[in-house]
Structure 1
Amino acid sequence: MYKQQQDQPPFQSFRRPSTTDQDSNRFMNANLDDFKGRIYELAKDQNGCRFLQRKIEDGARNNAYAITMIYDEIHGHFVELMTNSFGNYLCQKLLERCDNEQRNKIVEIVAPEIVPISLNMHGTRAVQKLIEFLATSDQIQIITSALNPSVVPLIKDLNGNHVIQKCLNRLSDEHRQFIYDAVSENCVEVATHKHGCCVLQRCIDHASTSQKTQLVKEITRHALPLVQDPYGNYVVQYILELGDAQFSDGLIHQFVGHACYLSAQKFSSNVIEKCIRVASPDTRHMLIAEFIDPTAMEKLLRDSFANYVIQTSLDYAESGQRAELVDCIRPLLAAIRTTPYGKRIYGKIFRDQQKPVAATSAPQSSSTLPQHHQPHSIHPQHHPQHHPPRQLSSQPRRTANGSYPTMPV
């Protein structure tokens, strides 16, 4: 038998205080006056920056004194500190609490360098805070004038686009007009960019009536190239989703005469489906009429994208035109019946033949469709991704076999 060992006291480990702990401790009970003349250097230190922010936030009667003291020592270094990994937080806090006279001086210092600051991963946050707390027309005028020549490069930048979005969020219709002018003049360049297409949608969201009309006019003018672009097609879809006939009718008319070609394209096929869903009856009739041609129909039915447009047409065509569509498809059914999409079209026509005639009339909206007529039962419908201020990614696209890949991160 082994002798049972007596209980030993637990081992106690002693951790030597780290440099970070020591730095943090030296600010524990410190006074701001202890660091007079060294605040600029302190602003670039992690613990020092936190200490200074606490002093700015302090609600005691010395708060104004702390703000003035910190402002006096760092405002001349604001451009550098706004792009510093720690200093940008102090700049943001100071912009929140400083008075208008101090903010005027900061605006004058920052304005000449506001574009490179906005393109910086730290600086973009500080510039957004500055825009949020602009308090006078003069301050707004100085900043917007500095941003005006570089609106498009900022929109297309990973960091800079958030500054433009902040202007859209915070400024009045009058003061953000410079953005609408720049986007209108460079509509295709902006709409076909992965960040630009999302910022353009935010422009539509925040637009006044005249600004929205200004944008839609340019988008409509360039509708054909945009609808075939991997990003631009979402801008076109966004206009259609507004549900405003004065905008959508003119846009959809740009595709009349091109419906067959666009239906066979990867990106524009989705838009043509949406056009068929939201168009006025007369415009929808013109679009679907382009498909009622034996030669064109055979190509469309065999196309991996266009066949979905034909399925949507069967759902939304009025009864007379739908009969013409079915008559055009029926001779081709035997040839395509073994294909995946051919089976769906065959099944759709066969099922509808078993139903009363009234059930095959054109639906007025997707919300009133029977379940088997819902467009989502054919294939998932994707929508533009509304990006808010962060990394924007492209949307999932339907592949040739009709499936949807996982969205890239």
Structure 2
Amino acid sequence: MEVVRNKYGSKRVQKLLGISDDVDALFYAAILHRFYDIMTDKYASYVAIRAMLVFDTMEKFRMYDHVLYYALDIARDHNALFLSNDPSGNFVVQHVLTLYDSRCTSNVAVSLLGHCVDLSFQKYGSYIVEKLLEAEESMAVVVVELLECEGGRLTRLARNEFGSFVVVKALRVTQEMDRIDMFWDLVQKLMPLRHLLVRSHGSNIAKILESCSI
């Protein structure tokens, strides 16, 4: 733990993973022994994430079991934002959200408060934001952030390859959850951008807006 909690020590251990079965077995046992401590540390968690990429299937599933076991505790930790921004670590947060535990989901939402738009621009981050939109406990957190998003930034998000899916999801779930007030607030916010979305990744948003203006 002393080594992997250090930025440079963590990088060196990551390079050792996947080189030999004996070395992997040593680190596998060490990671499982201090799993929660490792997963909630800024630099040590990179070692666990790297391990999940290089270990054999059986070891990976054992680690996934540990993720689920500690899911609530990991969700409460501020590390949710760090993991959400990592192309491999985000799966931990996704696992937590698919437990559909209201308290757990709320904790993740609080940890990501103010970062949902930034995450929506990223491939893996957008998956997490979409999952937050699916839950009543966290949907409003994302929608409010979209509503507070400045015009130019909202345009870029709505035209973005990944962000456009988040905006479409927000429009759909506000209707499905009977939050018509939020739905129309979003429509009103996006309507001036409609002409900019037609020939872009935001074409599906434009179609929804068009149906609202008829």
TM-score, normalized by length of structure 1?
0.39
What secondary structure sits across from 2:123 in the alignment?
A: coil
Q: Indicate the residue corresponding to 2:204 in structure 1.
A: 344
Task: Please say if 1:304 is aligned against 2:161.
Answer: yes
Distance 2:189 2:157 in 1: 12
Distance 1:199 1:189 in 2: 17
What secondary structure sits across from 1:267 in the alignment?
A: helix
Give the AA of the match of 1:237. Answer: Q
Cα deviation, residue 246, structure 1: 2.0
Higher relative contact order (CA 8 A, sep 6+): 2
Matches within 5 A, 1:19-98: none
- 1:39-88, Cα deviation, whole Å (9 max, x unpaired): xxxxxxxxxxxxxxxxxxxxxxxxxxxxxxxxxxxxxxxxxxxxxxxxxx
Q: Give 4+ residue runs of structure 1 displaced > 6 Å after superposition.
A: none
What secondary structure sits across from 2:202 in the alignment?
A: helix
Equivalent in 21, 45, 60 of residue 119 of structure 1: 21
Higher CA-based Rg = 1
Give the AA of the match of 1:327. Answer: Q
Higher helix share: 2
Stretches of structure 2 that go unaligned for 5 or more consecutive residues are 1-19, 40-44, 54-59
Distance 1:296 1:287 in 2: 15
Stretches of structure 1 that go unaligned for 5 or more consecutive residues are 1-117, 125-146, 155-163, 165-177, 355-409
Q: Indicate the residue corresponding to 1:200 in structure 2.
A: 63
- CA contact 1:248–1:279 (8 Å) conserved in 2: no
Give the AA of the match of 1:349. Answer: L
Q: Indicate the residue corresponding to 2:83 in structure 1.
A: 226
Distance 1:288 1:266 in 2: 19
Distance 1:199 1:353 in 2: 52
- 1:76-109, Cα deviation, whole Å (9 max, x unpaired): xxxxxxxxxxxxxxxxxxxxxxxxxxxxxxxxxx
Equivalent in 314, 324, 328 of residue 185 of structure 2: 324
- CA contact 2:75–2:104 (8 Å) conserved in 1: yes
Cα deviation, residue 198, structure 1: 5.3
TM-score, normalized by length of structure 2?
0.71
Matches within 5 A, 1:180-259: 182-187=34-39, 188-193=45-50, 195=52, 199-205=62-68, 207=69, 213-217=72-76, 220-259=77-116
Alignment: residue pair count:
178
Q: Indicate the residue corresponding to 1:289 in structure 2.
A: 144
- CA contact 2:31–2:38 (8 Å) conserved in 1: no
Cα deviation, residue 214, structure 1: 4.2
Distance 1:332 1:198 in 2: 45
CA RMSD between the two structures: 2.8
Distance 1:290 1:214 in 2: 25
Instruction: Mark the CA change 1:298 to 1:184 in structure 2 (over 3 Å): closer, same or farther.
Output: same
